[in-house]
């Protein structure tokens, strides 16, 4: 049973309502139970303002290194690792293209382009951005929320794995 506090939940998903409700539902006997609770809270309890709040906590994709708010926060560090494949495969051209499309996306939808970037190349991310750009705003809003949940699940798993390691008994 892992003790995870509200601040740690907030690093998994930047909605304060999500973090509050996860802290209230804690502790969880397993990672699976924590993820199930997170999914229920995120999709059924957190409202559209909470979704927007969580979205705004992310650095823009391709820009994790200049995250302005709290570059050394766990959330910012996680973003950096999650985007590492994208950054490793980026060329100056593809980054400029990504930057341009990110701006257009934000202009249309009112929030940044969100994608679970783990293991994806810049070209894959750019192709997905261009495809999703055609969506109706409300449709894209729900897709972004699903991507946010994927990111949250990865982060919860990391959190559990860190805690489990820390809690392992020393062989004596």
Active site members: 58
> Least Å distance between CB 135 and a copy of itself?
10
Q: Helix 92-109 crosses helix 122-133 at what angle (to 10 degrees)?
A: 30
Least distance (Å) between residue 111 CB and a copy of itself? 8
Q: Which residue's entry shows tokens 């502790």?
A: 27
Residues near a copy of itself, by CB under 8 A: 43-52, 108-111, 136-138, 141-142, 145
**What would the two tokens of residue 118 be?**
């783990």
Alpha-carbon gap, residue 32 to 58, rounded angstroms: 25
Residue with Cβ nearer a copy of itself (33 or 139): 139
Quick one: how far is CA 118 from the chain centroid?
Answer: 10
Question: Considering beta carbons, is residue 8 or 140 the nearer one to a copy of itself?
Answer: 140
- Please provide the size of the chain in residues: 172
* Residue 63 and residue 34 in contact, taking contact as beta carbons nearer than 8 Å: no
To a copy of itself, the closest distance from the beta carbon of 18 in angstroms equals 12
Closest to a copy of itself by CB, 48 vs 127, is: 48
Structure tokens at 145: 């929320």
Nearest distance, CB of residue 110 and a copy of itself, angstroms: 4
Q: Is the peptide bond before 145 cis (omega within 30 degrees of 0)?
A: no
Query: Based on CB atoms, which residue is closest to a copy of itself, 119 or 137?
Result: 137
């Amino acid at each position: 049973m892992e003790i995870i506090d509200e601040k740690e939940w907030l690093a998994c998903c930047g909605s304060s309502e999500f973090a509050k409700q996860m802290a209230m539902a804690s502790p969880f006997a397993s990672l699976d139970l924590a993820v199930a609770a997170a999914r229920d809270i995120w999709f059924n309890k957190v409202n559209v303002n909470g979704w927007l709040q969580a979205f705004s906590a992310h650095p823009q994709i391709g820009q994790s290194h200049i995250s302005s708010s709290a570059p050394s926060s766990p959330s910012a560090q996680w973003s950096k690792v999650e985007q590492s494949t994208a950054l490793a495969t980026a060329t100056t051209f593809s980054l400029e293209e990504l930057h341009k499309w990110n701006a257009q996306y934000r202009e249309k939808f009112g929030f940044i382009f969100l994608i679970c970037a783990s293991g994806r190349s810049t070209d894959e991310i750019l192709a997905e951005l261009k495809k999703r750009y055609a969506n109706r705003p409300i449709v894209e809003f729900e897709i972004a929320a699903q991507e946010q949940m994927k990111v949250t699940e990865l982060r919860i798993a990391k959190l559990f794995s860190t805690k489990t390691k820390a809690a392992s008994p020393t062989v004596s």
